[in-house]
Amino acid sequence: MSFSRLPSPTSFNRSTVVQLPRASSVFNIFSRRGLPIFSAFFLWSVGTGAVQLARPLFAASLGAPIFLVTLVTASNSVGQLVAGPITGFGMDRWGRKPLLIIGLTIRAASSFAQFFTTSYAEFLVLEFIGSLGVSMWSTGATILIADLSVAENRGRAVAARSFSTRLGSIAGPLIGAAIATAFDLRSIFIFNGLTKVADIAIVAFIVHESRPERTAPTVGAPKEGRLDVIRAMFANRSFLVIAVVAFAISVMTQGVFQALFPIYLQSERGLATSEIGSLTAVAALATVLVLFPNGYLVDRFGRKSTLVPGLVVLGVTALLLAVSADYGGLLLAVIVYGIGEGMCAGSSQAYAMDLAPADRRGAFLGVWGVLNSSGSIAAPLLIGFATQQLGFGPAFTGLSVALVGVAVFTLLLGPNTRSRMKRAVAAGETPSLAPR
C-alpha cells in the first residue's frame, strides 16, 4: 500500500503559495522513507500501552480513591490543552522535527522520574509534565501523516499509522503485565522512557522534515487579517461536527477505557493484573483487524460511512460493560470496543485532515487535538464522580445513550468531504476541503 503526494487542499490565505513535494513521490509503509516513521509509532505505543496498564493501578497503590485515579488521566488532557495549539503553530513556523524531538524528550524524562515517585501528588505532577510531551508527539504525528497523504488515500494512510500503533498497543500491556509480575509496577515507567529514547534517535537521524515550503506572497494579493483566518477555519458547521465527535470519542476511549476500565475489572470483577492486560490486548487486536478494511471504506465511500456506525458500536460497548457479569461478557465488550474504536479513530482523523488548510495544517490540527483531549478532562472526572456516587452501571448506560445521540447528530449535520472533492475534480478545479 502506498500513498502518493498530490496537491493538498487550497488554503484560506490566497497570497501564500505552498510548495509541496512532487506528485510522483511515494510514501510506503515498508519504504526507506516510511518504515522509520511507522517504527517510531510502534515503539511509542509499546511504551504507552504498558503505561496505560500501570497508570491507574499505580495511582491506586499510592492510596488514591477512584475519583483521584481518574484525575491522573484527566491531567494528561490538560497537558493537551496547553501544548496542542502551541505545537501546531510551532510546527507551521519551525517545522515538524524540532517539536517532535522536544515532546519525546519531555515524556522520556518524566517517565524515568516516575520510577522514583513515592506519593500520589508527585506522580500527578510528573504525569502532567509528561502529558505535555505526549501532546506534542500525538499532535505532530497527526500533522506528519496529513503532510504525507491526500484526501483520496488519507483513510488508508491513517490506517497504516493506526496499524503500527495498535501493534504496539497489543504488545505494550502484555509486556507491562510481565514487567509488573517479574519486578513491580513502577518498573514499567523505566521501560516507557527507554522506548521514547529510541524514538528520539529515529526522528533525529532518520525521519525527514515534511513541512510544506512557502514562497513569498503574491504581489498585489489582498492580505487576510488574523481574525478572518481564525473565523474561516473554526467558525463553521464542519468544525462544530468534528469537535462534538472528538469529544464523544475521547469520553469513551480515554475516559472510560483508559481511566475506569482497569479499576472496574479489578474492584468489581476481581480480575488479576495479567487478566486485565490480556483483555486490553484483545481490544487492541480487534482494532487492528478493523483498521485496513475501515481505511478502504473511508476512502471509497466517505468519512461518515464508518464514523456514524462506529459511534453506535461504542455506545453498544458502554451498554455491554454495564450489563456484563462474567468474563465472557467482558471479553465480548472489549472486542466490540476494539471494533468501534478502529472505525471511529481512523475516520475522524481523516475527516479532520480533510478540513485542514495546507498552509495552516499544524494550527488547525493542533486545535483539533485539543478537542480530542477536552473530553478526557471533564469526562473522566464526571464519570468518576458519577461512578463513585451511583456505581459503574448507571454511568456506562448514560454514556451509551449519549454516544448514539452523537452518531445521529453527525449523520444529519456532518459534511461529506468526499462528495465535495469529487465535484471539484469534475469541474476541473483544485480540490478544496477547507471548512465552509
> Which amino acid would we find at residue 396?
F
At which residue does the C-alpha cell 464523544 appear? 248
Q: Which helix (H) or strand (E) holds 3?
A: strand 2-4
CA distances from 435 to 11, 92, 135, 221, 378 (A): 10, 19, 24, 22, 27
CA distances from 203 to 38, 210, 214, 226 (A): 11, 12, 23, 32
More confidently predicted of 157 and 359: 157
Q: pLDDT at position 314, please?
A: 93
User: pLDDT, tens digit, for every residue of 397-416?
Assistant: 888 898 999 999 998 888 77
Q: pLDDT at position 436, please?
A: 42
pLDDT over 70 at 15, yes or no: no
Average pLDDT over residues 116-123: 88
pLDDT over 70 at 86, yes or no: yes
User: pLDDT, tens digit, for every residue of 311-323?
Assistant: 999 999 988 988 8
Provide the whole-model pTM: 0.72
**Per-residue pLDDT band at 21 (split at 50, 70, 90):** very low
User: pLDDT, tens digit, for every residue of 239-251?
Assistant: 888 888 888 888 8
Q: pLDDT at position 77, please?
A: 66
More confidently predicted of 226 and 356: 356
More confidently predicted of 130 and 233: 130
Distance CA 414, CA 408 (A): 10
Mean model confidence pLDDT for the chain: 78
Residue 247 near residue 402, CB atoms below 8 Å: no
User: pLDDT, tens digit, for every residue of 246-268?
Assistant: 888 888 887 788 777 777 787 77
Residue 223 near residue 15, CB atoms below 8 Å: yes
Candidate from 102-106, 372-376, 424-428 with smallest mean pLDDT: 424-428
DSSP-assigned states of every residue in 236-272: SHHHHHHHHHHHHHHIIIIIIIIIIHHHIIIIIS---
Residue 199 near residue 72, CB atoms below 8 Å: no
Q: Where are the alpha helices (DSSP H) in 95-153?
A: 96-114, 120-147
Q: Which helix (H) or strand (E) holds 33?
A: none
CA distances from 230 to 99, 122, 364, 373, 407 (A): 23, 38, 9, 20, 27
Give all strands (DSSP E) within 190-348, no chain letters: 213-214
Q: What are the beta bridge partners of residue 3?
A: 27
Average pLDDT over residues 27-41: 72
Average pLDDT over residues 7-31: 42
**Per-residue pLDDT band at 362 (split at 50, 70, 90):** confident
Distance CA 25, CA 416 (A): 28
Candidate from 6-20, 200-214, 252-266 with smallest mean pLDDT: 6-20
